């Protein structure tokens, strides 16, 4: 079912991507020098669809990095809580083993009365 839904979404997106690429394949010149637009060292000419897709990919990556840095403090809290939980599990296992060893000393007397 998941593969079907993925195909239902990915195939139309792929078709849209190909149509978009064919419709916007004319070259555009992008300059990175705001003071001298004619500087050949700071310009690049490429098809429009490549520019748009590259900017979209850059936006997704930049947003992911910003989110990852924004969640840093929560990841630290989770690590601390997981360490506390591990310590509590170890302590609980130790207490249970002590309690069971204490009960087994009295357990034969209790079983004789019950039986």
- Structural contact between residues 47 and 27, judged by C-beta atoms closer than 8 angstroms: yes
Strands 43-47 and 27-31, sheet pairing: antiparallel
pTM: 0.56
Token code pair at residue 100: 């069971």
For the segment 7-65, what is each residue's pLDDT rounded down to a tens digit? 888 889 889 888 988 888 889 888 888 888 777 888 889 998 888 889 989 999 999 99
Token pair 């087994």 is at which residue?
Answer: 104
For the segment 85-114, what is each residue's pLDDT rounded down to a tens digit? 999 999 999 988 888 887 665 555 545 555
- In angstroms, the CA 84 to CA 86 distance is 5
- In angstroms, the CA 55 to CA 107 distance is 73
Token pair 């609980």 is at which residue?
Answer: 92
Q: In the chain, what are the domain boundaries?
A: 24-70, 71-115
């Amino acid at each position: 079912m998941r593969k079907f839904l993925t195909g239902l979404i990915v195939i139309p997106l792929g078709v849209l991507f190909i149509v978009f690429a064919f419709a916007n394949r004319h070259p555009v010149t992008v300059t990175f020098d705001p003071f001298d637009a004619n500087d050949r060292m700071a310009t690049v000419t490429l098809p429009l669809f490549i520019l748009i897709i590259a900017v979209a990919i850059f936006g997704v990556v930049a947003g992911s990095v910003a989110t990852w840095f924004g969640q840093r403090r929560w990841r630290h809290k989770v690590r601390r809580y997981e360490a506390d939980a591990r310590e509590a599990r170890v302590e609980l296992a130790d207490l249970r083993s002590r309690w069971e060893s204490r009960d087994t000393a009295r357990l034969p007397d209790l079983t004789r009365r019950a039986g």
